[in-house]
Amino acid sequence: MRLQDKTALITGAASGIGRETALLFAAEGASVAVVDRDREGAARVCAEIEAAGGVAVAVHADVSVAADAEAMVAVAESAFGRLDVLFNNAGIMHPDDGDAEQTDESVWHQTIDINLKGVWLGCRYGIPALRRAGGGSVINTASFVALMGAATPQIAYTASKGGVLAMSRELAVVHARENIRVNALCPGPLHTEMLMSYLDTEEKKERRLRHIPMGRFGLASEQAKAALWLASDDSSFTTGTEFVVDGGITAAYVTPE
């Protein structure tokens, strides 16, 4: 098992990438702190893990609130004695996020608070816990839109993910000599509830699909497998990267036929 005797904290773990990663990490031997602001959803994922013979604790937290971020790390350390993997995955894609002129200031602040401030707070309280454990892996969910413009305008989301990518690079450099690795996972468009609810028309879906060389949306389970590699000792010499798992979208410069 690739995460045997390790403890992982995963935010946004009630659904999507977070849920798939929590289930996979537990199957690979990790004790998992399942963190989400959806209390019932976190409990369901925790129950799934335990039913499969794994070890988990459900934690209710809003990652944009400092006290919650501090508490989620404390719960993980209290329950399992240490923290080895921090996966700052929680994020939103607001339906009213558009271009610079259309997007309301409240949408901007809510998106930045969760997607960017939430990652910073996770690192603020999680990195000291990794240090106490002698090192570990931080994985921050960015996006392919941190590397290129989105076909469908979503200015707050794109800005937030660009910030996550830049922050991950800096943290990687700052903490490299402490045996703490920091990488940014950059998914392409996925067939998740969050994206499908944003791409709420066939026209919007097609605008995204036509730019993906593989011709399909990715799966949350495929991102979970990428996160597993970043969490495990297999990636022991990997830090500060843009770990892109996007079906080729960032490599394409023309629309495939």
Instruction: Give me the active site residues, please.
Output: 157
DSSP lists the bridge partners of residue 65 as: none
Structure token pair of residue 146: 């941190």
Output the six-digit token pair for 45.
Answer: 């994922």
How many Cα atoms are found within 13 Å in the side-chain-facing hemisphere of 257?
A: 0
Residue 235 gets which letter from DSSP?
Answer: G
Are 22 and 47 contacting, i.e. CB atoms less than 8 angstroms apart?
Answer: no
Query: DSSP E strands: which ranges in 40-126?
Result: 55-60, 85-88
Cβ burial 171-196 (10 Å sphere, 16+ → b, else e)? bbeebeeeebbbbbbbbbbbebebbe
Amino acid at 155: I
What is the sign of the dihedral through the CA atoms of 1, 12, 96 and 110? Answer: negative
**How far apart are alpha carbons 154 and 102 in whole angstroms?**
10
